[in-house]
Structure 1
């Protein structure tokens, strides 16, 4: 059951033999220490001294609290939280003095309670051979998130079977993000490479969840569902549907499919398997915009022939109907493999988001095979 691969919280004793300093390339610096007696992890960017930004989490809870303030001489004055919704409530503050390797000072809440703060430059446990490749990139790319993930573990869920392949579902309990790994049906090396991609994506979604919670504050919400759509000896395809309210003007929802080449573990591009609309190998001089336009025109023609009722143009002035003959809604689209063909989902403006994700918009494989791309992948009949 993935054995070494699923040591997803790589902080065993052997990890601590090597360390790296926690400083990102964009000026963010990461510290560890205590607020009162409680361990915390803090990220600060003090490059613009009159607009210092940051965040921190308690190691026990992992939920971010925003920080903002200013640095004058060696004194850092920070406010915890914000009044983004205009309620003007009193907020906790931190007053910190620079030390040789960090900060020390005091946290105070609106009621006057004070607690000491001690921070030192974070030392990061080095990844090991069993660390997922995505997590292994974080010490350099995002040390703060790397330290957050050290304290998170996946909980095994149900076992499943899809198209003859055994699946194991996993959930990260705090974010409720859920994903599957594949437990049978592929050669060992290919299966491990696929699962590294799938579980790496799970952790990316966990990071996105925390970013949404930080941005949206107390009213933030994020929900997600993941569904395998096609598994074969050459292809792993699934769809991620995410709804979120991260403090913007409106909540939103969207798809983010994953299509993997089993033999390389790399993402499959649509033109790898379907070469039309300037995407053929002899059309290298065609601009990307022109390619999209030609593909949209071709796709509308195919769908009009396959699904004439669904593609019927709405009557003039009927703004409530979905116009799938509009090239603009096919200039950007989601796509993934299914047992019947390649699904392509159009993208409508927010006010018509109910037109997204029609069930019928599938290109049969018999049609796809008439326009093969450069990558040789075995597709079903149909």
Structure 2
């Protein structure tokens, strides 16, 4: 009797421990296969432990976010609820039976019921090796992300040429996100390094497209390349992102990518190659970082004012105002044949002012600011 009692207690404790951990499951809602990531319980202080989950249908792969609570008897209730009026769009009621056995029901807004059965995802069925950095993610996030990306199908839809460089363009069939790979123009080992960075950028935006959601299914993530430049030392891509992932209004911004073609590494920050203040740049976490960006912005502002005095004058009326240093404090940037393009920063309502066509610093004027050892980046 004592042995039996201990066994019952052990089973109960094992179940509770499992329920408090994250897991990735697969199953079906009706005839539609889905993958679900249930996060660990966030409030473990009482019998109704809060948690959250995200799932996608394999057919379209868009994230759908759920909020949930563990009830007694290992029952998990997950709901997709409107953030403004509390309308419930769908609800899962799941019974945890064992790590390999979950069952329950799904109900939509109209009350339609579907029986569901879940089991842990079989990771051997879904392979995605194009971006090895994903292996650095936490286990469940890695499994969930790599499972989804394993379904991505890139189609080569065109081949173009920039100078001596031949580019193959690939597009994802669902997100329509497109980016090129280098076919020729560099040696084979360099091409391999460059194409890896390009692939990582494309898959990152594809994953952002699937991550971006609202509970009404209105998520939007549009990635558009509007300019690019390639030479023996640099690959530089100017891209914009227009997104709406829930919240009060859409977002518009830049997602530029510049690669040092000599080292085969991405240049992630303007400060990595230019020291406009003539001293080692501060990092965002440093105490005086804001003062540093102010100083950098003033220097960029002064350079552009000397180059383009008319464009930098204070405008009449409500036109874009570039006559102050602060829009240049946190610049976007990319390389063009003529030099370094610098984008300004404006509030959301003035986003159309962010990329003035004139704001190019010629290569020869950049020489005093280039980091020692990186001078080759300014050579044509």
Secondary structure of 1:218's aligned partner: coil
- Which residue of structure 1 aligns with residue 330 of structure 2? 332
* Residue deviations 1:103-129 (CA, integer Å, cap 9, x gap): 212223455543322212223239989
Q: In 2, Cα distance between the equivalents of 1:272 and 1:78?
A: 45
Which residue of 2 is the match for residue 30 of structure 1? 24
Alignment partners' CA distance in 1, 2:346 and 2:31: 51
Determine the C-alpha separation between the residues in 2 that align with 1:94 and 1:129.
29
Deviations for 1:219-278, whole angstroms, at most 9, x for unmatched residues?
332322124522122211111211112222222211121111123332224234332214
Between stretches 330-339 and 366-375, larger displacement belongs to 366-375
Which gives a bigger RCO, structure 1 or 2 (Cα 8 Å, sep 6+)?
A: 1
Judging changes above 3 Å, is the alpha-carbon distance between structure 1 residues 239 and 279 closer, same or farther for their aligned structure 2 residues?
farther
| 1:299 matched to 2:297 | no
Alignment of structure 1 residues 1-382 onto 2, 5 Å: 28-48=22-42, 49-73=48-72, 74-79=74-79, 81-86=80-85, 88=87, 91-102=89-100, 103-125=102-124, 131-137=130-136, 140=139, 141-212=141-212, 214-215=213-214, 217-268=216-267, 269-279=269-279, 287-314=288-315, 318=317, 320-379=318-377
The DSSP-based 3-state class of the residue aligned with 1:215 is coil
**2:89–2:108 Cα contact (<8 Å) kept:** yes
How far residue 41 of structure 1 moved from its aligned partner, in angstroms, is 0.6
- Per mean C-alpha deviation after superposition, the further-off stretch among 46-55 and 302-311 is 46-55
8 Å CA contact 1:35, 1:116 repeated in 2: yes
Contact 2:239 2:256 (8 Å CA) reproduced:
yes
Q: Is the 8 A contact 2:28 2:116 kept in 1?
A: yes
Residues 33-62 of structure 1 deviation map (CA, whole Å, 9 limit, x = unaligned): 233343221111241354321121222231
Q: Secondary structure at the match of 2:116?
A: strand
Name the CA shift for 1:280/1:43 in 2 (closer, same or farther; >3 Å): closer
Give the gaps of 5 or more residues in structure 2: 1-19, 43-47
2:297 and 2:90 map into 1 onto residues whose CA distance is 53
Question: 8 Å contact 1:279–1:291 — kept in the other structure?
Answer: no
2: CA distance, partners of 1:259 / 1:137: 23
Question: Could you report, residue by residue, the CA deviation over 1:271-293 in whole angstroms, capped at 9, with x for unpaired residues?
Answer: 34332214359xxx994333322
Q: Could you tell me how far 1:333 is from its partner in structure 2?
A: 1.0
Pick which of 42-51 and 145-154 moved more.
42-51
With structure 1 as the length reference, what TM-score do the two structures score?
A: 0.82
Equivalent position SS for 1:219: coil
Report if the CA contact (8 A) 2:127-2:147 is conserved.
no
Task: Look up the SS of the partner of 1:91 in the other structure.
Answer: strand
Q: Distance in 1 between matches of 2:250 and 2:109?
A: 32
Structure 1: unaligned runs, 5 residues or longer? 1-25
Q: Give the Cα–Cα distance (whole angstroms) in 1 for the partners of residues 133 and 190 of structure 2.
A: 17
TM-score (normalizing by structure 2): 0.83
Q: Does the residue aligned with 1:298 lie in a helix, a strand or coil?
A: helix
CA RMSD of aligned residues (A): 2.8
Q: 1:379 deviation in Å?
A: 4.3
**2:50 & 2:127 partners in 1: Cα distance?**
37
Question: How many matched pairs?
Answer: 349
The separation in 2 between residues aligned to 1:143 and 1:110, in whole angstroms, is 30
Cα 1:70–1:130, aligned 2, differ >3 Å: closer, same or farther? closer
Q: Distance in 2 between matches of 1:174 and 1:39?
A: 17
